[in-house]
Structure 1
Amino acid sequence: MTSRLPDFHIADATDEQKAVLQEILSGPRGNLNGPFLGWIHSPELAQHAQRLGAFCRYKTGLPLRLSELAILVTAAHWRSQAEWHIHYPIALDAGVPAHVADALREGRAPAFDNDDDALIHGFATELHESKRVSDETYGRAVGRFGHVVVVNLVGLLGYYSLVAMTLNAFGMRAQGQTELPFAEMKA
């Protein structure tokens, strides 16, 4: 599948687009891999979304391992080829066990050695699948991480759902991606 959006060339970018791209490239990401070249067709959306993304990825109050686990749960839920491709190695480097990540990709329930990992997985899975979080799971999450971090976790899950939706709707792939982690849906 090729991207459904028109090709974007930085040389043809508007001043608004250039400003967004410069902010992304000079920020903690340092690259345009992901949904950014899709969003850039709407520079105002791109600016708001990339700033929200920088917060959700780097400032939630969760350790990187738990943030990346939540992102993998979201990528697997949406079967987002590029999101998984980008975040799988980051998650492994952050300490998410390969057997956990692989189970998520394969649609199996992971076996967790870490209670925090199990809690993040349970919270994210409940929210994605049932569109709600049980009182028990919510209480455990707030008891462990506090209200602010749980609010930020919900924001992270929502943001990476937006990323996955963008990548899926427009048929976008990650830079250098040659293999797909999920079977493609037949058109």
Structure 2
Amino acid sequence: MPKMLRRTDSLRPDQMKTDQKKLYEAITQGSRAQGPQHFALTDDLGRLRGPFGDFLLSPSVGMALQALGAALRYETDLPDRARELAILTVAARQRSTFERESHEAVARALGFSQDELDAVQREDMTPFDGVESLVGRTAAALLDGDLDDSAWYEAEELLGQRTLFELVTLVGYYSTLALQLRVFRVGPETAAHTPIDEAAARR
């Protein structure tokens, strides 16, 4: 099966303008680059992988998005496993292969078993309990569009309003990334966008 073609350019660092380089450095040298690397931020040519390459299309918007993503990954009160469970729930619902593969790597490092990862892909939260179960169920409800009063009060009681706000925002952020990945045709097996690729796609 042929690789899907990106609809946008994948820029090398030497092709970037000043504002794009600033964003590139914020992504590759910021909080995402600290500590263990569970998935690569760049390819062997230095191009940003996943959604980050398309952040460069609008550096001002991309900078805001990368800052929000970094805050959601590293500066919330959500426990690490619960956070990854929520992200993987979004990936499952949105059928986002890049999100799933990237964050399954993080989840494995946090002790997720293969059975747990498989269950999340079915949106089955029965392997989880406590805060993790609540976060998974709440993320799924948010992907349906809302929390009813019962779900709201359960989540508010266990998480508190601050963490619940962070969870709602996280689900929205990763849903946005999933949409961008889908529209711009970006995935783990996506071929780089080049003029030759465009010509082949038209034949």
- Would you call these one fold, judging by a TM-score over 0.5? yes
Q: What residue is the counterpart of 1:163 in the other structure?
A: 177
TM-score where L is the length of structure 1:
0.87
Q: What secondary structure is seen at the aligned counterpart in 2 of 1:50?
A: helix
Structure number with bigger Rg: 2
Listed one character per residue, the Cα deviations across residues 2-46 of structure 1 (whole Å, up to 9, x for unaligned) are 211123222110100000001111112123433110111111111
Aligned residues: 174
Q: What residue is the counterpart of 1:81 in the other structure?
A: 97
| Matching of residue 143 in structure 1 with residue 157 in structure 2 | yes
Which of these residues, 4, 18, 23, is aligned with residue 26 of structure 2? 23
Matching of residues 171-186 of structure 1 within 5 Å = 171-174=185-188
Is 2:119–2:127's contact at 8 Å kept on the other side of the alignment? no
Listed one character per residue, the Cα deviations across residues 80-134 of structure 1 (whole Å, up to 9, x for unaligned) are 01111100111122233432221232x35242242212101110111102x0112
Q: What residue is the counterpart of 1:95 in the other structure?
A: 111
Q: What residue is the counterpart of 2:124 in the other structure?
A: 109
Distance of aligned partners of 1:117 and 1:97 in 2 relative to their CA distance in 1, 3 Å threshold: farther
Letter in 1 for 2:7: R
Q: Which runs of 4+ in 1 moved over 6 A?
A: none
Which has the higher mean CA deviation after the structures are superposed, 73-82 or 36-45? Answer: 36-45
Distance of aligned partners of 1:114 and 1:3 in 2 relative to their CA distance in 1, 3 Å threshold: same
Letter in 2 for 1:96: F
Distance 2:71 2:123 in 1: 30
Which has the higher mean CA deviation after the structures are superposed, 33-42 or 9-18? Answer: 33-42
| Matching of residue 44 in structure 1 with residue 47 in structure 2 | no
Q: Percent identity?
A: 32
Q: What residue is the counterpart of 1:3 in the other structure?
A: 6
How large is the Cα RMSD of the aligned pairs? 1.6
Is 1:119–1:137's contact at 8 Å kept on the other side of the alignment? no
Q: What secondary structure is seen at the aligned counterpart in 2 of 1:29?
A: helix
Letter in 1 for 2:14: A
| Matching of residue 153 in structure 1 with residue 167 in structure 2 | yes
Q: What residue is the counterpart of 2:51 in the other structure?
A: 35
TM-score where L is the length of structure 2:
0.80
Distance 2:110 2:75 in 1: 15
